[in-house]
Amino acid sequence: MSIGSRITGVGSYVPPKVLTNFDIEEMMETSDEWIQQRTGIKQRRWVEENVSTSDLAVEASKKAIENAGLTKDDIDMIIFATLSPDHDFPGTGCFLQAKLEMPAISVLDIRQQCSGFLYGLSIADNFIKAGTHKNILLVGAEIHSKGLDKTPEGRNVAVLFGDGAGAVVVSRTEVNSPTDSHIINHFLYADGAHAKELWLPAPGNAFGAERINKAMLDEKLQYPQMNGRNVFIHATKCMAKVLGEALQRSGTDINDVDIFLFHQANLRINQKVAEILQIPEEKVFNTIQDFANTTAATIPIGMDEAIKAGKLKPGMLVASAAFGSGFTWASALWRQ
């Protein structure tokens, strides 16, 4: 017998406002055919103007805690992964904590972008194995819609992103057998040499005397910038390699995995990863067609949707991988 952790509760929330590719066509020079062909996205959810990232996180968190059969008093830590915080500081986890009325417990914000959820899962697993915590709320939430360049100049990035939140509760468990529900392993990597291939330049402290000024705004440095081709090449290679590592290090054959939950950045990336590793198409569960890229929220949203669809059930072996800005990438293997 050993002490480990397992995912005991899952929840997600997406705003009710749906924008199809045809709605995007009215904003910029693009088309439903162009977007679907390159990304697989059909629609996304965008918030109304008075909604914050922590607001989305609240709804997902409540569902995850309830799904775990716990109350908020059972939670002893919050880990919040986001690149779109309510404010520069303090961390959005503090705003979430206040809205959930869960005072005094530890709160940790992490900024690993699309890899944020898997980084957070690793952190939660290690805190629990260290014996200091019993039930950790891990949240990934994003609002991209307020920070996109919705003009023709920004279309290559703007069509990719949606808003949403996903959350899980990671709890202490006794592991007596490999088939017991538990987090098996996780692997984390980064390469900052490629940081400016996908980044948000401003506001920032690396430009001179001011964090933001008119010149930066005129250059549209306040909007995300991406070298799409380079991201695609690195994402497919890194996700395939780190997922292969998770399987090899655990002695798991790829055919033993019941479901693959990849980060949802681009359907073509996930299809390429599946092709490299010879994963049957029916084992990969994708949600990008409905929600687009919600960065740190894609994997927990995918988990919740897979459960609702009857594709993810207790006892199943799950493999996950992500790649994002930084560059950062990660994988995890767990028994649901």
pLDDT above 90 (res 2): yes
Asked if domains 2-175 and 182-335 share a fold, the reply is: yes
Superfamily (CATH) of domain 182-335: Thiolase/Chalcone synthase (3.40.47.10)
Instruction: Give CA–CA dist 168/163, Å, rounded.
Output: 18
Structure tokens at 248: 């090899």
Assigned superfamily of 2-175: Thiolase/Chalcone synthase (3.40.47.10)
List, for residues 317-334, the tens digit of each pLDDT value: 999 999 999 999 999 999
Residue 208: pLDDT above 90? no
Give the mean pLDDT of the chain: 97
Which residues are known to be catalytic? 114, 263, 293
- Residue ranges covered by each domain of the chain: 2-175, 182-335
Cβ-Cβ contacts under 8 Å for 288 (sequence gap 6 or more): 39, 40, 41, 264, 265, 266, 267, 270, 298
CB half-sphere exposure, 118, CA atoms < 13 A? 34
pLDDT of 262 = 98
16's CB contacts (< 8 A; 6+ apart) are 45
Burial pattern 23-35, b for ≥16 Cβ within 10 A else e, equals: ebeebbebebeeb
Q: What is the pLDDT of residue 137?
A: 99
Residue 36, both tokens: 């679907």
- Residues near 286 by beta carbon (within 8 Å), at least 6 away in sequence: 40, 262, 264, 267, 270, 302
Q: What percent of the chain has pLDDT over 70?
A: 100
Please write the tens of the pLDDT for every residue from 217-249: 999 999 999 999 999 999 999 999 999 999 999
- Could you give the count of Cα atoms lying within 13 Å of 108 in the half-sphere of its Cβ? 17
For residue 323, give the nearest of 235, 240, 251 by alpha carbon.
Answer: 235
Burial class (CB in 10 A: 0-12, 13-18, 19+), 51: middle
Q: What is the rounded average pLDDT of the residues 120-126?
A: 98
Q: Say yes or no to pLDDT of 1 above 90.
A: no
**Is the pTM above the cut of 0.85?**
yes
